Amino acid sequence: MQIKQTTKRLVSQAFVRHAATLVSGNVAGQIIALAAYLLLCRMYSPEDFGLFHLFLSVGGFLAFFTTCSFQYAIVLPRNDRMGAACAQICLAGNLGAALLCLAAVCTIGPLLTEATHTAVLNPLLPLLPLYMLACGLWATLNYWFIRHKQFQGIARYQIGVSLGTSAAKLGWGSRSIPGGLVFGTLAGQYAALLAVAWRRRALLAPLLHWQALRIRVCLRKYSKFLYFTFPKDLVNYLGGNLPSLLLAPWFPLAELGFFGMAVTLAMRPVNLLVNAVYQSLYQQCIELYHQRGSMRFLGRLLLRGFLIATPCFAALYFLMPHLVRFLLGEGWGQTAVYLQLILPWILFTLLFNPFDYLPDIFGRQGTLLGFEVLQTVLRTAALLTGIRHESFALATALYSATSCLVILLRAGWYFHLVHTYEKSITHDPHPAE
């Protein structure tokens, strides 16, 4: 009875409060970003957005090497000192990866871009280490804040980075500076990082006290994140950014700009909403797992999300051309076509990706890696089919379809994990008090 009451309290109070805090920050950030994009699409050309999307794809891939997905381990230890050791591992990896990237940019960067037919990135190569560093720092701080239930700090960062990047992009756009979208992104990221770090400086103080023994213990105990979660995340990111990385050498940069705008308008708000629910659920389910509490509420949460989101997305499909013309202008009509093609993928991402923490809790990262490899293989085949038929639209449609298929398979596996866990706690003769 005590366990049941504790579970109910955690789910009904903490989850709602934390999720509401994160979602409110996401909504405010998206309102700012959307307002800015209404102006940015009239300041920058589709080619500018194509270059920006290509930079983010390459920079985002490199950013995975800053923490190697070890930031997820920060939430798991019961002891705060061990949690701090996990965060310190991420910080050390972040600095080392950024320095290695800087050395590579200064030596072989232009050779690599020439070999991959992406020489348009050459003027922006020196900014890649800075982008990596910003991404790695926030990945570490984000999960340190989650551990300490500092969801207001996360929400403030989300608002701050949207406000800072939007203002900087508009400023550089008004001066017609090449690469203004990239410069604006970096300016906003670092301004938001400095603000949130200063405001939460007392919370960050334990990260300054390093202890080699604890770091070695954490590396051994949570090594699965390096062996399985990191390759899984890397493969997942590659799969998500294959359109930029594979299609850029074969199609005009403007097509990539149209597609990048479609992904930005659809995935950015969806990912922020997914992350808000994910972060809150992750922290709550960790507590439930430690207490051997039930997670049956996850099924009800999914069902409610499906009943709300599906009719909304069906209506969006028919309204999309009118919305894009109204928001972006007549010159961006192709973006509406790509948005309609990827809507099923967006819907499945919104419904199922908030539960991606479950393999981490149950120690099944290896299986999840298999799903990501399968998805990347299918996505690559889809894009190569589009390249073969010289059709960007066909590549986009097949990419969306294969993504939906693997997400559904993975969701079925998540259901199996939770079902198995529920059976184990039902038959546990000595549940945690």
Model pLDDT for residues 193-236, shown as the tens digit of each residue: 998 888 888 888 888 888 888 889 888 888 888 887 888 788 77
pLDDT of residue 12: 52
Rounded to whole angstroms, the Cα distance separating 106 from 103 reads 5
Burial 361-379 (b: 16+ CB within 10 A, else e): beebbeebbebbbbbbebb
Spell out the residues 6+ positions from residue 296 whose beta carbon is closer than 8 angstroms to its own.
418, 422
| Ranges in the chain, pLDDT < 70 | 1-27, 30, 173-178, 427-433
Using the Cα atoms of residue 323, residue 38, residue 352 and residue 289 in order, give the sign of their dihedral.
negative
pLDDT of residue 39: 83
Amino acid, single-letter form, for residue 18: H
What letter does residue 225 receive in the DSSP assignment? I
| Residues shown for the chain | 433
The SS3 of residue 255 is helix
Structure-token match 């070890």, residue found: 70
The tokens describing 187, both together, are 């300016």
| pLDDT tens column, 165-205 | 888 888 876 566 667 889 989 999 999 999 888 888 888 88
Rounded to whole angstroms, the Cα distance separating 319 from 250 reads 31
Q: Radius of gyration of the chain from Cα atoms?
A: 22
Report the predicted TM-score, pTM, of the whole model to 2 decimal places. 0.72
pLDDT of residue 175: 61
Question: Counting Cβ atoms within 10 Å, is residue 101 exposed (0-12), middle (13-18) or buried (19+)?
Answer: buried
pLDDT of residue 7: 47
Cα–Cα nearest to 173, from 42, 34, 31: 42
Rounded to whole angstroms, the Cα distance separating 127 from 131 reads 6
Instruction: Count CB atoms within 10 A of the CB of residue 311.
Output: 10
Burial 156-193 (b: 16+ CB within 10 A, else e): bbbbbbbbbbbbbbbebbeeeeebbbbbbbbbbbbbbb
Percent of the chain with pLDDT over 70: 90
Rounded to whole angstroms, the Cα distance separating 398 from 381 reads 9
pLDDT of residue 277: 79
Q: What Cα–Cα distance (Å) separates residue 363 from each residue in 73, 127, 229, 339, 369?
A: 12, 36, 10, 36, 12
